Chains A and B, each alone.
Chain A
Amino acid sequence: MPTMSEKILARASGKESVEAGDIIIANIDVAMTHDLTGPLSVQSFEKIGAEKVWDSSKIVIPFDHQVPADSIDSANNHILMREFVKRQGIKHFYDVNAGVCHQILPEKGHVVPGEVIVGADSHTCTHGALGAFSTGIGSTDMAMVFAEGNLWFKVPETNRFNITGDLKDNVYAKDVILHIIGKMGADGSTYKACEFAGQTVSDMSVSDRMVLCNMAIEMGGKTGLVEPDKKTIDYVEKRSKKPYNVFKTDLDSPSLNIIDIDVSELEPQIACPHNVDNVKPISEVDVEIDQVFLGSCTNGRLSDLRDAARILKGNKIADGTRMLVIPASKEVYTKALDEGLLKIFVEAGALVSAPCCGPCLGGHTGIIGPGEVSLSTSNRNFRGRQGSPDGEVYLSSAAVAAASAIEGRITAPE
């Protein structure tokens, strides 16, 4: 009667079974760090006195946060990481031209069902959308993984969101997850695995499932998960040659808490400043915006760009509002180029940038100033997240971002 998390962690720790609350040591299948958390991981690895990483084929290092380097300090971090990659013979390194880590990992076939994945980035929970147990860790823990290939975990209990109902037009996975976070609160799933299940999730694409899992951390979740189905296997088999294991949750598990969510009447949702759980239906939000950001590991995928382009086609972005479009990866960028989506954005008056994290975390590319308001398709609206602590960030779906850019204020798409 175990949950899928318990089954995955049992396999990874070489045990017949584990239960929520057990402390286990799991073997790691994939370890990811990027240009921003990588330097601390490498420094810790060297402080331990370790010389060789445990397995150079299981480490993935994409550059995505400060790319291309925007300062000498960033350039130095890149140099440090490139040297580490070379010295250690890391097989999977993606330099400044590849895209956002949480898009690269599934897209390049690094994620398959049943694996244990750790990343020095809190949104590593995204990869549970393919049925892996995937979680964010800090740099010291990452150094330990680099050295030993394993890490201790407390086996989590599970909140399983049983989501039912057909989504209305212009309502998306982003609205579903914002609604759930608003209901649960920023600590409503602390230390829990968050499983997304039910008919609505079965009907969703793999990309949409990534949106749900990506934001599990915003209610404190240890990971997000979706049980693998045919869509998962089709996605994975196209991209990866790694063996995989499909695990599903036994619904009689004692560590399972089932939460029913009906989304049939849901309207587009907005997370208002300065917490992700400050969620309101769009009909209750009327705010002028200075900047719109379409992109990130939450909503920078091809389907998001298509949704936005459909609305922006033939329209102009409002005077006094600027829009930044950043496809999540080279693959997304290329396909958007082929489909003519980027042209639609540029003709509407948006700036299209090369794949990177962009203004999501206020590092560079579109930082907001005091008193400015950003509407963003990313995952966090904390005070100061995109620049000035006196600015404000609202979160929405790609479709709402596009409709709002045209009006210059937060607006529901028609």
Chain B
Amino acid sequence: MKGRAWKFGDDIDTDIIVPGRYLIYTDEETLAKHCMEGLDSKFSEKCNEGDFIVAGKNFGCGSSREHAPIALKGVGISAVIAESFARIFYRNATNVGVPLLEAPGISKLVEDGEEITVDMENATITSSNGESIAFKKLPPFMLEILNQGGLIEYLKNK
């Protein structure tokens, strides 16, 4: 997978990913419009299908709102790559089919706007100048859930 990296800092909470006032909506299209609105109100217009989010530690901390990974899926983010993730968000993102790649050192390797390459099979991320780092490989069942587009689709097709 190849795409543009949108870079964010540490402790990106789910109120930033989807502010509380939009939780009354449940459809992907509406939630996508407000994705990352807490920090960048134009994010959903700028983001393209296949782009990546690169972030620091504890991405997705805060509320259990599944609206957050649904919004990321809606804007076409193909994976979030971070130093570390918060617990509830990690589970929710996998359940809705958004890959989360834990890659210590990623925030030093990648600059905002850079095109990066993610190799899911070999668990590596390569920056535009050819430097690579590894991410923690996902177990096969989790890859299968993500390939099917989420837990519900996975169970249906099983």
Residues on A lying within 8 angstroms of B by beta carbon are: 36-37, 39-40, 43-44, 47-49, 65-66, 71, 73-74, 77, 119-122, 124, 136-141, 143-144, 186-187, 190-191, 217, 220, 222, 275, 361-364, 367, 380, 382-385, 387, 389
Contact = CB atoms under 8 A, between A and B. Distances in A.
A381 B3 CA distance: 33
B3 to A, nearest CB: 25
5 contacts: A48-B152, A65-B23, A71-B24, A382-B16, A385-B15
Contact of A140 (B26, B62, B86, B96): B96
A380 B15 contact: yes
A383 B39 contact: yes
Given A361-B63, A389-B39, 10 more contacts: A47-B152, A138-B64, A139-B92, A187-B11, A190-B58, A217-B62, A217-B88, A362-B20, A362-B21, A380-B15
Is chain A's interface secondary structure helix, strand, loop, or mixed overall? loop
B64 A49 contact: no
Contacts of B79: none
Interface in B58-113: 58, 61-67, 70, 84, 86-88, 91-92, 95-96
B92 A138 contact: yes
Interface of B: 11, 13, 15-16, 19-21, 23-26, 37-39, 57-58, 61-67, 70, 84, 86-88, 91-92, 95-96, 150-152, 155-156
B25 A73 contact: yes
Given A138-B88, A190-B84, A383-B39, A120 B23 contact: no
A44 B152 contact: yes
Contact of A186 (B11, B38, B96): B11
Contacts of B87: 190-191, 220, 222
B86 A382 contact: no
Given A48-B155, A137-B88, A190-B86, A363 B64 contact: no
Given A77-B24, A384-B15, A136 B155 contact: no
A47 B151 CA distance: 11
B7 to A, nearest CB: 17
Contacts of A121: 63-64
B42 to A, nearest CB: 13
A66 B21 CA distance: 10
A362 B19 contact: yes
Contacts of B65: 36-37, 138
A36 B23 contact: yes
Contacts of A40: 26, 66-67, 70
Given A362-B21, A382-B15, A141 B57 contact: no
Nearest to A152: B91
B151 A140 contact: yes
Q: Ordered nearest first, which 6 A-B pairs have the shortest CB separation?
A: A138-B92, A361-B20, A140-B95, A187-B58, A138-B66, A136-B64
B24 A138 contact: no
Contacts of B63: 121-122, 361, 380
Contact of A43 (B21, B26, B62): B26
A187 B26 CA distance: 28
B11 A363 contact: no
B20 A385 contact: yes
A80 to B, nearest CB: 9
B152 A138 contact: no
A214 B86 CA distance: 17
B91 A138 contact: yes
A74 B24 contact: yes
Contacts of B19: 362, 384, 389
B23 A140 contact: no
A220 B61 contact: yes
B24 A382 contact: no
Contacts of B92: 138-141
B61 A363 contact: no
Contacts of B13: 380, 382
Nearest to A47: B152
A66 B24 contact: yes
Contacts of B57: 187
A141 B92 CA distance: 8
A120 B151 contact: no
Contacts of B26: 39-40, 43
A37 B152 CA distance: 17
B149 to A, nearest CB: 12
A187 B21 contact: no
A138 B91 CA distance: 8
Contacts of B84: 187, 190
B111 to A, nearest CB: 23
A121 B37 CA distance: 21
Given A187-B86, A389-B39, A140 B152 contact: yes
Contacts of A362: 15, 19-21
B66 A37 contact: yes
A380 B24 contact: no
Contacts of A363: 20-21, 23-24
